[in-house]
Amino acid sequence: MNWEKGQKEDLYRILDFSKANDLVVLPILIKIFKREKIQDCQKFLSSVQNQRHVEQEILKFENSSLLDKEQMLNVGKYNLNIITDILKTIKDHQFNKQNFSLDEYEEIKQDMIIKISYDKKIIEFFKLLIHLYCL
């Protein structure tokens, strides 16, 4: 049951990838997931029709020029792909097979907390994950 250092670093790299995300999209997704009572967000985000729905929400959210809206749509599509990839990777990761509430993982937990605590984008991504878990 020993969780290797390489796996810990691998998990951090996955979370680090979430930093490529634009923070504007995360609250929009949370709002949609709550309103629509989405249970399987990965499946939801994989659907082209649902991606268009999210894009429409992005356009409503942004009060800006046509050029800005077009840029937001491009950013939104990119972000949806990133989020979908990260969710799938986290779901399939060895991390999900361990019980990290055990004392033997205390050092690993503290190390991850320290690494993550200084990164606002990873923290915001965690907020999305928490909202998804609460649905």
Quick: pLDDT tens for 96-120: 777 778 888 888 888 888 888 888 8
End-to-end CA distance of the chain: 30
Q: Is the pLDDT of residue 1 over 50?
A: no
Q: Is the pLDDT of residue 89 over 50?
A: yes
pTM over 0.85: no
Residue 75 Cα distances to 22, 23, 55, 60, 88, angstroms: 7, 11, 10, 15, 20
Quick: pLDDT tens for 25-60: 788 888 888 888 888 888 888 888 888 888 888 777
Domain boundaries, the chain: 13-134
Confidence category of residue 7, pLDDT binned at 50, 70, 90: low
